[in-house]
Structures are given as structure tokens and as C-alpha cells.
Amino acid sequence: MFDALLIEKSPDGQQSVHVRQVDETSLPDGDVTVRVEWSTLNYKDALAITGRGPIIRQFPMAPGVDFAGVVEKSSNSAYAPGDRVLLNGWGVGEKHWGGLAQKARVPAAWLTPLPSAFSTRSAMALGTAGYTAMLCILALQQQGVTKESGPVIVTGASGGVGSVAVMLLARLGYHVAAVTGRETERDHLTHLGAAEILPREDFSKPGKPLEKARWAGAVDVAGGQVLANVCASMKPGGVVTACGLAAGMDFPATVAPFILRGVTLVGIDSVMCDHDRRVKAWDALAKLVDVEKLESQTKEISLRDVSESAAALLDGKLHGRVVVKLD
Ligand code: NDP
């Protein structure tokens, strides 16, 4: 028997979340069984656990879109018992048993070998948020945005994706402008490497089709009006990576930045990203991340604390990264 966080739905449609003792017959099909050591709390997990967003496709479901642990059993030659692995996305924690449980069973193709620079804990301190931040930065680099091109703006800078993006971009030598709605996070963002801090309210209201050209690159987790305003303030040839919808699903923009300044908008999807790009992103994280700095902003919680932390994350009350101890 092992512990799992389960989201259940009663016949009258009420959702409830409990830590349950389950056995291996609860696990789905898959060729690799993993003893999960650590998971983390992502925006999508928080929506699923609080029921504030339609993330879970079938009930009961163990949420958790990522995990890191040790292979226990494998019928696939790619992995052997004892191998350290991690997983991000692929519908895990949405339609396939997720990482907020002491065991997981998945197809081998979904796993990524854990880079030796990371413990299973530090990998989850980065989690899907950190890996998505790295995908955004790889996309900026691939589109030719260098530190000489000009400043890079990061929205939702004190959140999971945003804070890691600020830390990595600063490490790479970029001038980082961090947009936040939390004045209290100013010192933290400066510590991570932000060169300037901008209030979120400057980006939240409808603006002009073209604003003053300021940014060579952007990592946007907000979507909605914020993304539209970021696009309007890009320099000619600027590149915007869009990965989130914290401000909304809509995109109330004009084509002006694209046709008058040659701005490129790059969509980032971490869930179905191909295996080679995942490995590239994790290898880049292994080279760039200051594990000590990461640990200093990481808080440890247990499965029983997850529901409360999920609500805090969505209410903007969580500070730094959260890892969930499962071992
Ligand atoms: P967090 O909740 O940790 O961070 C989101 C941040 O967005 C908040 O901390 C806040 O930052 C900012 N924010 C919140 N509300 C608003 C608003 N109304 N307008 C503008 N900014 C706002 O979430 P994550 O960083 O984990 O995820 C961010 C987004 O990225 C989510 O939408 C998530 O679904 C998406 N995502 C997408 C992935 C992909 O594959 N495309 C993968 C991972 C995440 P501050 O207080 O500093 O302003």
C-alpha cells in the first residue's frame, strides 16, 4: 500500500480531495513503475486541486503534472531499477495518474533521465515551471535574442515560471525587467537578478497598438491584456514567448507589432514537447541553475499540506518554490 492524493467526485458533482492509501492495482498501464520521491505544485495542479479550473478529465485522479524519483520496475530496456528519472506533462495528473502519489506508472517514452547535477528534490524545486522557463529561453535564443539585443521582460515574475526565468536570464547576462503585482517581492526579484521591477498595473489596462519600443525579448506567463501590451512594446524584430494564461485566455491585441515591427510570437507547450527538446532543456538547466540559490527559495510540504498550498498559490500568497515530499 502507498499514499496518494486523490481528487474524487461524488454523484452530485461535488469534488473532494483526500490523501488515500491505495495499492498498485490503482496504477494505470505503463512499462515503468517509479517510486516517486518528490513532486511540486504547479499552477495547473492548483487549478485541479481547488476545482477552480477544468483540468481533470476523469475521476478519481491523482493530480500532479510532474515528479522525480527512482525506477522500481521496468519492462523497457531504456530504464532499469535504480535509475533516477523525472517527468513533466504528457497529460500526467490530468488524464493519467499523476505525481502527487508515492508511486507512478508511465510509458518509458514519457520519462527524462535525471541530470546528475540535480537531486530528485532540486529537480522538482524547478519542476514544470522551471523547465517551461528554460523552453522559453531556448526559444528566445533560437530566434536570435542575445544579451546584446536589449532588455528581456518577464511577466508574473514572482510566480513559478517567472521567477526561474528571471534567475536564468540574469545568469545568462541578459538585462531583465520583471513585471509583478506584488510590491513585497521586489527584494526577492532583485536577489534573483532582475535589473528593473515594473508594476503589473502598467500592463493590465488596454493600451495603444504600438507603445514605446523597449524589449528585445519577452517571457509571458500572463496572456490576456498583459500579453497584448507586451507585444505592443517590443523593439523591431523582438521575440515574445507566450506560455501562460494567468491574466486570461484571451488575446486582445492588434497585428501592428507583427506587421510594423516584425515581432515574433512563439507559443511554448511543455506538455507535449518532444523528448529531445526536453533533454536539451534539462541539460541547459543543469548547466545554469545555481542549486544553492534555488534551495534558498524552496519550501518543503507534505501531501497533507497540498490542498492549502494550492489555494495559496492561486491567491498569490505563495512565495518561492514548493516541493512535495513523497518518499
Ligand atoms: P504561478 O501561480 O506560480 O505564477 C503566476 C504569476 O502570474 C503570479 O505569481 C503572478 O505574478 C502573475 N499573475 C497572477 N495573476 C495575474 C494577472 N491577473 N495578471 C498578470 N499577472 C498575473 O504559476 P506558474 O508560474 O506555474 O504558471 C504561470 C502560467 O504559465 C500559468 O497560466 C500556467 O498555466 C502556465 N504554464 C504553462 C505551461 C506550458 O506548457 N505552456 C507550463 C507551466 C505553466 P506576480 O505576483 O509577480 O505578478
pLDDT band, residue 213 (cuts 50/70/90): very high
**Centroid of chain to Cα 172:** 20
Q: Looking at this protein, which amino acid is placed at residue 207?
A: G
Q: Please choose from 44, 124, 158, 161 the residue to mutate so as to test ligand 1's pocket, defined by most ligand atoms within 8 A of CB.
A: 161
Q: Which atom of ligand 1 is nearest the CA belonging to 273?
A: 40
Which H/E stretch holds residue 197? strand 196-199
Give pLDDT, residue 293. Answer: 84
Indicate if the pLDDT at residue 267 is higher than 90: yes
Indicate if the pLDDT at residue 297 is higher than 90: no
226 lines ligand 1 (CB under 6 A): yes
Q: How confident is the prediction for the chain on average, in pLDDT?
A: 96
C-alpha cell at position 147: 544579451
- How confident is the model over 222-251, as a mean pLDDT? 98
- How confident is the model over 143-168, as a mean pLDDT? 97
Give the rounded percent of residues in the chain with a pLDDT score beyond 90.
95
- How confident is the model over 271-299, as a mean pLDDT? 94
Indicate if the pLDDT at residue 296 is higher than 90: no
**Residue 135 CB coordination number (10 Å):** 25
- How confident is the model over 142-167, as a mean pLDDT? 97
Q: What is the pLDDT of residues 90-122, one digit of tens each?
A: 999 999 999 999 999 999 999 999 999 999 999
Give pLDDT, residue 121. Answer: 97
93 lines ligand 1 (CB under 6 A): no
If we measure between CA atoms, which residue out of 125, 107, 136 comes closest to residue 39? 125
Buried b (16+ CB within 10 A) or exposed e, 104-113: bbbebebbbe
Strand partners, 86: 68, 112
Tell me the C-alpha distance between 236 and 229, whole Å: 15
If we measure between CA atoms, which residue out of 249, 306, 244 comes closest to residue 271? 244
